[in-house]
Structure 1
Amino acid sequence: MQYEPGLSRDALIELATRTYFGNVDAKNMEGALACFHEEALFCVQTSFTRHAGKPAIRRMFEDFFGAYETIVHKDFTCTVDEANGRIAASFEAVLTAADGSVTRLNNTNFWRIRDGKFQEVYVYMSGANVLV
């Protein structure tokens, strides 16, 4: 199903890279969840993992936030389909655990936007799935 476009190119980039990942990196649960529709779908395609609806996405983030002392997403390269409300971004994720060990991932996310929020998120992860 196609949704009516509503966000400009700059607004799509802002939502995905600064609003969403800014809140994830700050471990701001409510801010991160505010980017999703209630019935949103979050899939990690490279490990066949699905989280359907905000309660499941919340649980995923609780585990993710608890697993790492610091979370940093950086070096975004975005491709935007403004006419259809979609955005893709390739980036590096740097995750530091309490023991100082660092996990580096080169990921690509694809977002489908409805009414200014994520309806669907598809993640392609370069290493083991950290969003279980």
Structure 2
Amino acid sequence: MQYEPTLDRAALIDFATQKYFANVDAKNMEATLDCFHDEALFCVQTAFTRHAGKGEIRRMFEDFFGAYETIIHRDFTCTVDEANGRIAACFTAELHDVDGNVTLLYNTNFWRLRPGADGPKFQEVYVYMSGANVLT
């Protein structure tokens, strides 16, 4: 099902990179979850994992935020389907754990946004990860 688009190209890129990833990197749980509809679907396609609804997505982020001292998403290349409220981004995820180990992943995310009473939010997120799944 398609939804009526409400964001232009620049706003879609800002939503994905600044509103979403900037809050993930800051480990700001409430602002991160605010990017999702209550019944959103978050799938890591390369690991066959699925998180349905904000409760499961919250638990996934709690584990992810707890596993890494520093989280950095950078070097975005975005492709936008403005007419349908969709965006894809290739990027580097740089993760530092408490022991100083660094994990580098080269990922691609696909997002579908849906309008809502309090603005557009992610309805679906599909993640393709270059290494082991860190979003369990």
Q: How does the TM-score come out when normalised to structure 2? A: 0.97
What whole-Å deviation, never above 9, does each CA across 1:52-78 have from its counterpart, x for those lacking one?
Answer: 000000000000000000000000000
Tell me, yes or no, if structure 1 residue 8 matches structure 2 residue 8. yes
2:47 is matched with 47
1:30 corresponds to: 30
Aligned length: 132
- 2:129 corresponding residue in structure 1: 125
* Equivalent AA in structure 1 for residue 44 of structure 2: V
Structure 1 residues 48-63: aligned runs within 5 Å: 48-63=48-63
Amino acid at match of 1:130: V
Shift of 1:23: 0.2
SS in 2 for 1:18: helix
After TM superposition, give the deviation of residue 81 of structure 1 in Å. Answer: 0.3
2:82 equivalent in structure 1? 82
Which ranges in structure 2 are unaligned for 5 or more consecutive residues?
none
* Structure 1 segments of 4+ aligned residues over 6 angstroms from their partners: none
Structure 1 residue 18 displacement after superposition: 0.8
CA distance in 2 between partners of 1:131 and 1:3 (Å): 27
Secondary structure of 2:2's aligned partner? coil
Q: CA RMSD in A?
A: 0.3
The CA deviation at 1:38 is 0.2
For normalisation by structure 1, the TM-score amounts to: 0.99
Q: Which AA in structure 2 matches 1:69?
A: E
Provide the residue aligned with 2:106 in structure 1.
106
